[in-house]
């Protein structure tokens, strides 16, 4: 297994060499947020498909930079999200209860502004330089922030990823900021458990 230092160097290399793609992903996320604010009403299936794309992006960058573990995990996650997404209903995305809305907003903001691995010239650089779509934690934070897109199987997939990478980041890599990813995963787990009770399972 790779040493923590080697993993950190690998992640730093992705952030340094592919920062232009992070800017592109920020633009996409901002457009999505703006569309939702302007009353765009995507279906659960549509939003689920959209949110599988940054997961695929992480897989691609992991593979091309020699991290087969992250590449495999995120490739499998992408396949699962697409397969589960195709089975999601085509109802318009609905609102969660207020606590989950607040938690989701915080997770999206955390992912967009994720400060680790970058050295911005200005505080404003955080708005477009965090490694969204490049490395696991900020990407998962944003995707988890959207709360599972009306699918328990997608929620369970994201919970598993969030718990693993949150714990790995905090314990193995000593990236203590990743405790916020754990917060998001646990929040989504809470929503998942409540959804099971509501459906009678």
> Beta strands of the chain (E only): which ranges?
none
Higher pLDDT, 89 or 193: 193
| CA 132 to chain CA mean position, Å | 8
Give the tens place of pLDDT for each residue, 106-115. 999 999 999 8
Give the tens place of pLDDT for each residue, 29-53. 999 999 988 988 888 888 888 999 9
Ramachandran category for residue 79: left, alpha or beta (phi over 0 → left; psi -120 to 50 → alpha): alpha
Percentage of residues in the chain with pLDDT exceeding 70? 95
Q: Tokens 């969030």 map to which residue?
A: 162
- Distance CA(127)–CA(189), nearest Å, equals 28
Q: What is the mean pLDDT of residues 83-103?
A: 81
> 167: part of which helix (H) or strand (E)?
helix 152-167
pLDDT given for residue 199 in this prediction: 53
Q: Cβ of 15: how many Cβ atoms within 10 Å?
A: 21
Q: Cβ of 115: how many Cβ atoms within 10 Å?
A: 15
Q: Tokens 């609905």 map to which residue?
A: 94
Instruction: Using CA atoms of 142, 143, 149, 154 in order, give the dihedral in degrees to the nearest 10.
Output: -150
pLDDT given for residue 200 in this prediction: 47
pTM: 0.91
Q: Cβ of 201: how many Cβ atoms within 10 Å?
A: 7
Give the tens place of pLDDT for each residue, 52-67. 999 999 999 999 998 9
Mean pLDDT of the chain: 88
Q: Using the Cα atoms of residue 194, residue 197, residue 198 and residue 201 in order, give the sign of their dihedral.
A: positive
- Distance CA(141)–CA(66), nearest Å, equals 23
The answer to whether 81 touches 55, Cβ cutoff 8 Å, is: yes
- Distance CA(3)–CA(201), nearest Å, equals 42
> 135: part of which helix (H) or strand (E)?
none
Q: Which of 39-43, 123-127, 176-180 has the highest mean pLDDT?
A: 176-180
Instruction: Using CA atoms of 60, 113, 144, 79 in order, give the dihedral in degrees to the nearest 10.
Output: -10
pLDDT given for residue 201 in this prediction: 44
The answer to whether 58 touches 135, Cβ cutoff 8 Å, is: yes
């Amino acid at each position: 297994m790779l040493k923590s230092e080697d993993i950190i160097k690998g992640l730093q290399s992705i952030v340094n060499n592919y920062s232009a793609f992070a800017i592109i992903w920020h633009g996409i996320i901002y457009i999505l947020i703006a569309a939702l604010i302007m009353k765009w009403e995507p279906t659960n299936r549509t939003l689920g498909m959209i949110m599988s794309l940054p997961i695929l992006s992480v897989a691609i960058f992991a593979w091309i930079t020699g991290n087969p573990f992250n590449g495999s995990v995120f490739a499998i996650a992408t396949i699962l999200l697409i397969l589960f997404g195709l089975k999601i209903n085509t109802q318009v995305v609905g609102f969660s209860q207020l606590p989950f809305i607040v938690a989701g907003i915080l997770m999206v903001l955390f992912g967009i502004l994720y400060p680790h691995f970058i050295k911005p010239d200005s505080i404003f650089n955080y708005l477009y330089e965090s490694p969204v779509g490049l490395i696991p934690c900020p990407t998962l934070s944003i995707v988890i922030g959207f709360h599972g897109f009306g699918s328990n199987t997608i929620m369970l997939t994201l919970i598993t990823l969030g718990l693993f990478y949150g714990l790995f980041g905090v314990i193995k890599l000593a990236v203590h900021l990743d405790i916020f990813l754990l917060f998001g995963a646990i929040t989504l787990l809470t929503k998942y458990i409540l959804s099971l009770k509501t459906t009678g399972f």
